[in-house]
Amino acid sequence: MAARKPARAREPRPFTFYLLGGLMGLFLLFLYGPMVIIYLLSFQGPNGGVTFPMVGVSTKWFADIVKPGQMANIPVSFGRSIELAVVVCILTVVISFAAGLGFRRRFPGAALLFYIAIASLVMPSLLVGFGIGLGFQMLDLPQGLFTSALGAQLTWTLPFGLLTMFAVVARFNRSYEEAATDLGATPWQRLRWVTIPILLPGIIGVAVGAFTLSYDEYARTTLTIGSYNTLPLEIYALISSDSTPVLFAIGTVTTAVSFLLIGVTLVFITRMQRRRRVRI
């Protein structure tokens, strides 16, 4: 491969490369342009409004988020969102990892379960929440963060986790497992020392995905949350009532939390892969 590389690099690029590359660049601009504007506007001066021009620069709107008063619900709901996301993340990883392993063999009902998972993924989200909320109401069960809302979010993160696990498991060479068995490993030892370490990057991918999907979830949660809102629900309520840059400040902060998580994970996975390469 290494010997071929210089020869390939000298090959002239076809015109479609520039065409598609241009499209890619424009798409990235389109993807990030509006986001950058709200990040900028969240540093709007104290007398500025929700559009340009910037009237000075300040961090007033960030301070407003944590100031006791009309925004008091934001820090609390942020805490709730994080708690829920952690629980959703752990359950999604464990359950979809087990299911991903289960789907490697044929078993009666595999097709049915697969289609139910797909249906759960593509079902209009609000309807899932509606069904669960209705069920809880009719059975007189208490609706709340770790009952109905947790359940509603799992119907969204589990199919996502399962599909990711399919992609991860498909690239997994089973002869490693066979070798472990041949060398006398028990099924648990094989899982603990062979399967999980090899699949770890994919598992971490599922964890980050589940966490962020839960942390940003709105449509499935809104009808199942009971009386205490998560952060996205608070933000949604604010959109209609508040027209100051504080909304953008919240947007900047929540995006920063997501980015931080993704960044830490990427660094972690890259390090892990580099270390493995060295070891081999």
Partner 1 sequence: MDASPAEMARLAGQRPPRPRRRLPPWAISWIQVSPLALILFVLFAAPTGLFAVVSFFDYDRVGIYPAFLLDNYKDLFTTPATWRIYVSSLRFAVIVWAITLFLGFNIAQFLVFHVRTARVRILLFMLCAIPFWTSAIIRTIAWIPFLGRNGAFNTMLMELHLASHPLDFLLFSDFSVILTYVHLYTLLMIGPIANSLSKIDPALLEAARDSGASRFQILRWIVIPLARTGIALGSILVFTQVMGDYFVVKRMSGGQSASIVSALSTEIQAMQYPPASANAVVLVVFVAILVGLMMRVVDVRKELVS
Within residues 220-249, the interface with partner 1 by CB under 8 A covers 223, 232, 235-236, 239, 247-248
Cβ–Cβ < 8 Å for 143, 224: yes
Site for partner 1 in 23-82 (CB under 8 A): 23-24, 27-28, 30-35, 37-38, 41, 50-52
Candidates 65, 71, 89, 162; binder of partner 1 (CB under 8 A) is: 162
CB of 194 to partner 1, least distance (A): 16
Is residue 260 near partner 1 by the rule CB under 8 A?
no
CA distances from 207 to 157, 162, 170, 210 (A): 10, 12, 18, 5
Is residue 144 near partner 1 by the rule CB under 8 A?
no
Compute and round to an integer the Cα radius of gyration of the chain: 24
Stretch that binds partner 1, among 60-68, 171-179, 193-201, 255-263 (CB under 8 A): 255-263
Q: Mask 4-33, x = binds partner 1 (CB under 8 A)?
A: ----xx---xx-xx--xx-xx--xx-xxxx
Contacts with partner 1: how many residues (CB under 8 A)? 94
Is residue 184 near partner 1 by the rule CB under 8 A?
no
Is residue 191 near partner 1 by the rule CB under 8 A?
no
Q: What is the dihedral of CA 162, 93, 228, 226, to 10 degrees?
A: 50
* Contact residues for 249 (Cβ-Cβ < 8 A; gap 6+): 42, 61, 62, 64, 65
* Contact residues for 221 (Cβ-Cβ < 8 A; gap 6+): 129, 149, 152, 153, 230, 232, 233
DSSP conformational letter for 180: H
